[in-house]
Structure 1
Amino acid sequence: MGKLVFISLLVAALSALLGERFVNLRRRALASRELVQNHLPNCVTLKNLNQGSEDITIIRDGLAFISTGLSYPGMPDPDGPGKIYSLDLQDPRLKPLELRVSRNFDLDSFNPHGISAYVSPSDDEIYLFVVNHPHHGSQVEVFQFVEDDQSLLHLKTIKHELLHSVNDIVAVGVDSFYATNDHYFSNTAFTSLIELVLAQPWTNVVYYSPDDVRVVAEGYYLANGINTSPDKQHLYVVDVLDHNVHVLERKEDNALVPVKAVAVGSMCDNVEVDPETGDLWLGCHPNGWKLFMCDTKDPPGSEVIRVQNIHSDQPEVTQVYADDGQVIMGSSVAATYGGKLLIGTVFHKTLVCDLK
């Protein structure tokens, strides 16, 4: 039975079983709407990144890290294992470079998802934290970036029962981070069916350090992107199914206190933060149903949303870019530097555009 037929029959059965509640929930959660094109000037596709670029993060002097080749249930499988690239946004050639990984790491099963870079204030060393799903498991890899030869030295693998379905991560130290779990169950059958049917806010945020691992925030339908404010006093958590960005205050003991939620009107995925303005940049899925079906004849679109003044009484939510899938499908992240916008995807191309 084809995927489209099976899913249609499943939806029909669930709709009959659960009635209007399920239908309304699906429509709301999957944000099924069509896009009006809203393109930016001088957009070009980056070379070597045709297997997706699920997450992108930019640090000092325009150095970007890009994860590519994610294999995720329900999405098209990439050709071969995942990779990490760097990109110098100050170089007009805009040429991504594949980072070599130290031999003590299993590259064959590398399946990178969310990433976060941490620059040590004591010695300026760069550490890259990567969510990894080898054999569809869940763990975090910690690398040290060796800038001289564009390589990653694998330092350690972190596993914990609370880190059972990690989606994204934000490092807050050389060995500490916050991470989102995007599912309550770890079994694929439960995550793809039972959680969809029950539609409960069961996912969470976990704080990890060698001496302290605990759930610090919960109550999300599907906790996805996570990042910090420039002053590190607040965290932003994206609930992709509830179409909100949650603002949380970070306490001295690393606990999180909810402040508010800001509606973004789309299924937003990862969140990047401008270190100077504090603006939030989100790669979003305007039609989750099309993303779920992955039909190239009716492709999922892409959307980039910016949130300005998120801590004010009236945050400004703006659509910066939109495409119906003819140019770029399934945008998952957006990041800016020097007047340019990088747009990454779950399984498709990577685009760089001028903002003006």
Structure 2
Amino acid sequence: MAAMKKILVAAVVAAVAAFIGHRFLKLKEISLASREVPVKHLNCHYIKNIEYGAEDITILRDGLAFLSTGSHCPGLPWFSDEPGKMYIMDMLHPKPTPVELQIKGELDLSSFNPHGISAYIDEADDSVYLFVVNHPQHKSQVEIFHFVEEKILVHLKTITHPLLHSVNDIVAVGVESFYATNHQYFANDVLNFVTVMLGLPWCDVVYYSPKEVRVAADGLLAANGINISPDKRYIYVSDIMGHLIDVYERKEGEQLMHLKSVAVGSLCVNIEVDHKTGDIWLGCHPNGMKLSMFDPKNPPGSEVIRIKNIHSNQPVVSQEYADNGHVIMGSSVAAPYEGKLLIGSVFHKALCCDFK
């Protein structure tokens, strides 16, 4: 009997070890730990004043670009203890230069930690509202600002809700309504690591309005960037750990119906959409392991991917920029405008490039 117990225990231990080993191999696969990308540069220069990351960038049709900077993300490096800031840059200027936005109103700027952003223009009076995901003390909340003049954001409202528990990015669809992605399921980092190890697709997209808050789509490994088509009919979501861009159609009641997934072969973060062509632009991490195990001697690289004709039967996925981390580390967003391309990063610098 004792010998049988020993055999049984040994078998269980061996099975558990084999399972854990398999999941670690799967984690390396998911994080693209062995991927190296050849350098593919554009004619770029560093954007002045941006030294500690521009995690998200969005550009209005009139050329005004908003940048969220200084994001402190748990598990990733950061090189400044200063709170985050918001910048604006006029892409129509001969030499676009970011200017820090002054934030007015009742918002604790000492703990301001901006992440994903989205701009909304009210068709009634052309007012511009800026929605910013904020992580003070690593909590999740959404700030709504009114862009009132050239250098000023007026804080209007802070939104919190139990369903908005690990917000990564946001896309505004009204003056006070939006879709937001949750990139984690649990508040506990260990449990979240286990969900990734097990490949559990438990993350979701939440719809918020003053009248209702609910899950609009689920079944994602890690929901990251989100944006909307120029005709406002479709929502695009980056499932970063699945290496996919998911396409949803907005239905009655703001529910999202999944239409398709497009493989991109990289860990893509934020999504920007060309106002004219509808092309999808993605700031991506070509190797997630290098990002999480940061080594300045072997820095994490950067990659920009574009998707043309995403709604067709044969979307065209192309790599538009790639760097080994010696120019820009940890790219997170690529925003196009009239032949220019802004590339932001989680904690490093930002680039302005020509792609025509």
Q: TM-score, normalised by structure 2?
A: 0.93
Task: Name stretches of at least 5 consecutive residues in structure 2 with no aligned partner.
Answer: 1-14
Q: Which amino acid aligns with 2:203?
A: T
Give distance in 2, aligned partners of 1:31 and 1:107.
Answer: 36
Q: Which amino acid aligns with 1:272?
A: E
Q: Could you tell me how far 1:115 is from its partner in structure 2?
A: 0.2
* Alignment correspondent of 1:7: none
Residue by residue over 1:282-326, the C-alpha shift from the partner in whole angstroms, topping out at 9 and shown as x without a partner, is: 000000000111111100000000000000000000000000001
**1:114 lines up with 2:113 in the alignment:** no
Task: Name stretches of at least 5 consecutive residues in structure 1 with no aligned partner.
Answer: 1-13
Give distance in 1, aligned partners of 2:16 and 2:145.
Answer: 46
Checking the alignment, whether the CA contact within 8 Å between 1:15 and 1:23 is kept in structure 2 is: no
- The correspondence for 1:40, drawn from 14, 39, 42, is 42
* Alignment correspondent of 2:306: 306
Q: In structure 1, the residue corresponding to 2:110 is in which secondary structure?
A: coil
Instruction: Show structure 1 runs of 4+ deviating over 2 A.
Output: 14-21, 187-191, 193-199
- The correspondence for 1:99, drawn from 89, 98, 101, is 101
Residue by residue over 1:143-191, the C-alpha shift from the partner in whole angstroms, topping out at 9 and shown as x without a partner, is: 001224x111000000000000000000000000000000000123433
Checking the alignment, whether the CA contact within 8 Å between 2:279 and 2:306 is kept in structure 1 is: yes
* Alignment correspondent of 1:151: 152
Q: In structure 2, the residue corresponding to 1:253 is in which secondary structure?
A: helix
Q: Which amino acid aligns with 2:96?
A: L
Q: Could you tell me how far 1:35 is from its partner in structure 2?
A: 1.0
Which runs of structure 2 are paired with 1:136-285 in the superposition (5 Å)? 136-148=138-150, 150-191=151-192, 193-285=193-285
Give distance in 2, aligned partners of 1:69 and 1:188.
Answer: 22
Q: Which amino acid aligns with 2:134?
A: N
* 19-28 vs 120-129, which moves further: 19-28
Give distance in 2, aligned partners of 1:262 and 1:198.
Answer: 22
Q: Could you tell me how far 1:71 is from its partner in structure 2?
A: 0.7
Which runs of structure 2 are paired with 1:333-348 in the superposition (5 Å)? 333-348=333-348
Give distance in 1, aligned partners of 2:61 and 2:320.
Answer: 24
* Alignment correspondent of 1:132: 134
Among all aligned residue pairs of Structure 1 and Structure 2, give the percentage whose two residues are the same amino acid: 59
Q: In structure 2, the residue corresponding to 1:127 is in which secondary structure?
A: strand
Give distance in 1, aligned partners of 2:308 and 2:267.
Answer: 18
Checking the alignment, whether the CA contact within 8 Å between 2:249 and 2:256 is kept in structure 1 is: yes
Residue by residue over 1:183-228, the C-alpha shift from the partner in whole angstroms, topping out at 9 and shown as x without a partner, is: 000123433x333333310100000000010001001110000000
Q: Could you tell me how far 1:24 is from its partner in structure 2?
A: 3.5
Give the CA RMSD over aligned residues. Answer: 1.5
Q: In structure 1, the residue corresponding to 2:54 is in which secondary structure?
A: coil
Residues matched between the structures, number: 341
* Alignment correspondent of 1:296: 296
Larger Rg: 2
Give distance in 1, aligned partners of 2:137 and 2:173.
Answer: 27
